[in-house]
Structures are given as C-alpha cells and as structure tokens.
Amino acid sequence: MIQHINTSAGMAAAALAVGLLAGTPAWAQDKAAADAWRYQLTPYVWMTGLDGSVRPFRGAPTVTVNKSFSDILENLDAAAFVNGTARKGSYVLQGDFSYAATSDQAALPLGLSAKAKIRQTSLTMTGGHNWMLSPQSSFDLMAGLRLWQIKAEVNVPGVGSAQSNTSFVDPVVAARWRYDIAPRWSSLLYADMGGLDVGSKFTWQVHASVNYQVKENIFVSVGYRHLSVNYRDNGKRLDFSQSGPIVGATLRF
C-alpha cells in the first residue's frame, strides 16, 4: 500500500536537488521500478486428500483410491509444492509445481485384493496480462500449459502386476483476481481449465486464499485448493481429484 505524505515546498525542493545530484530524476526512478521484473516464490503445504480410479491398460482391473489427508499421512511416500510468479509492468508469468505419491489397497472379486500406487506430478506454466481494476483490486488473464506425469502400478498377489507411465500436456486458460481487504490483508481467487481432448479429456482447478503481510516482502497465506484430471487413452484410465487446505509463505524480491 502506498501512503501519500504531504511535504513542504522546501522539502520537495531538497528532494529534487538530491535526485538531480544522483543523476536520476525521481520520475525516472519510479518508471524504472515499474518496468523492472518483480518476483515472488511461495513454497506451501497442501493438506490434500486423493479420490480417483486407475486402470493402467485395457483389460486390467480398475482400482478405486479414496484417501483423506489423514489417510495419506499414514502412507505418504513424498510430496512437494511450490508456486512462483514474475511480473513486469502489465505482464505476468506464473509457474506451479506439485507432486504427490500415495498407495492404496482394494478388494476384488473371488477374494482377491489389488494394491495400487500412484505418483502424480504436474507443472503448470502460464503467462498473460494484468489489469488494475481499482487501487485495491487487480485481475490477471493468462494462458499456458499443464504438464502431467502419472505413474500407476497395480499389483494382485498371486496373479501379477501391471505398470503404467503416462505423460501428456494440456493447454489451459487461467484467471486470477486479487483484492486488498484491509491494510496487510488481501484475498486471492484463482481458477483454470483445459485439456479438451488435447492431452486429457478435461482438467481444472480452483484455489482461494487469504493472505497476511508479515513484513515488507514476506506474506503468509491460508486457503483451499482443488485439482482434477480426467484422462482416457486406449483403454487406459486415470481419473483423480486432489482437494484440501493449503498453508504457504511468500517471499517477494
């Protein structure tokens, strides 16, 4: 938030003199600052559940996975989440990386059981334009790609196992709205969608958060995120959704 401070004519003249002595007028410094790249990096914790079904190839059994966040914690293999943004003037670039690995077991007919492991990695990269709607509000409209790598393994003891390693790229369009609620407090709403049979049949996500400015360049956020994908290819089926609260910390530089 920019605070406007009234100064006397003498102080203004002194400030102008300092600017001239420095060799760069104040308006040029402001313009240079506006044209400079600005970055922010946000590692975050996503307390996500996982719901979905996996069929690694045509004729293989379909295994349903249904885990809450507490279930995932019990059998979590690994997880990592980070978001980054770069801005210059009205241009904006964004990247988001997420990785989640989980395992599950399901009952099959004839008293058999199947064990399923899923390793899901996604990288969303978008770029677009920013509009200042008001001094308190801004809107980003972006387009880009979401890269997927989904590794699935189904093992039926006494019968055999099957593996699937699927990679594809989805086009996505995205929108983000930011609103300053009060000094140090802001809200953020982000949504994207894509796929449309280019990579997956359909993918979408939504993310909402409330943010607090701890220091000039440090923010903390709490919110909720949902990410979903629906993929079919030659009898292969990968359908899953991840949903849950998020907690993050942002560094601006």
Query: Can you give the pLDDT at residue 223?
Result: 98
Q: How many CA atoms lie within 13 A of 57 on its CB side?
A: 8
Q: For residue 68, give the nearest of 22, 99, 104, 32 by alpha carbon.
A: 104
Determine the pLDDT at residue 29.
45
Spatial separation of the C-alpha atoms in residues 175 and 195, rounded to whole Å: 16
Residues 70-117: tens digit of each pLDDT: 888 887 888 899 999 999 999 999 999 999 887 776 666 666 677 777
Percentage of the chain exceeding pLDDT 70: 80
Is the per-residue pLDDT at 9 higher than 60?
no
Domain ranges of the chain: 1-36, 37-252
The pLDDT score that the predictor gives to residue 106 is 66
pLDDT per position as a tens digit, 139-169:
999 999 999 998 877 777 767 677 778 899 9
Residue 200's φ and ψ, nearest 5 degrees, are -90, 170
Which residue would you say has higher pLDDT here, 158 or 231? 231
Determine phi and psi for 32, rounding to 5 degrees.
-65, -40
Would you state the pLDDT for residue 13? 33
Higher pLDDT, 79 or 172: 172
DSSP assignments along the chain, one per residue:
-PPP----HHHHHHHHHHHHHHTS-HHHHHHHHHHS-EEEEEEEEE--EEEEEEE-STTSPPEEEEE-HHHHHHH--EEEEEEEEEEETTEEEEEEEEEEEEEEEEE-GGG-EEEEEEEEEEEEEEEEEEEEEETTEEEEEEEEEEEEEEEEEEEETTTEEEEEEEEEEEEEEEEEEEEEEETTEEEEEEEEEEETTSSSSEEEEEEEEEEEEEETTEEEEEEEEEEEEEEEETTEEEEEEEEEEEEEEEEE-
pLDDT tier at 6, thresholds 50, 70, 90: very low
Task: Give the pLDDT of residue 78.
Answer: 83
CATH 2.40.128.100 fits 37-252, yes or no: yes
- Both tokens of 188, joined, read 């953020």
State residue 63's pLDDT score: 73
Confidence of residue 34 (pLDDT cuts 50, 70, 90): low
**CA dihedral sign, ordered 187, 191, 80, 240:** positive
Lowest mean pLDDT among 32-46, 129-143, 146-160, 211-225: 146-160
- The phi, psi pair for 90, rounded to 5°, reads -95, 5
pLDDT tens digits, 20-33:
334 444 444 455 55
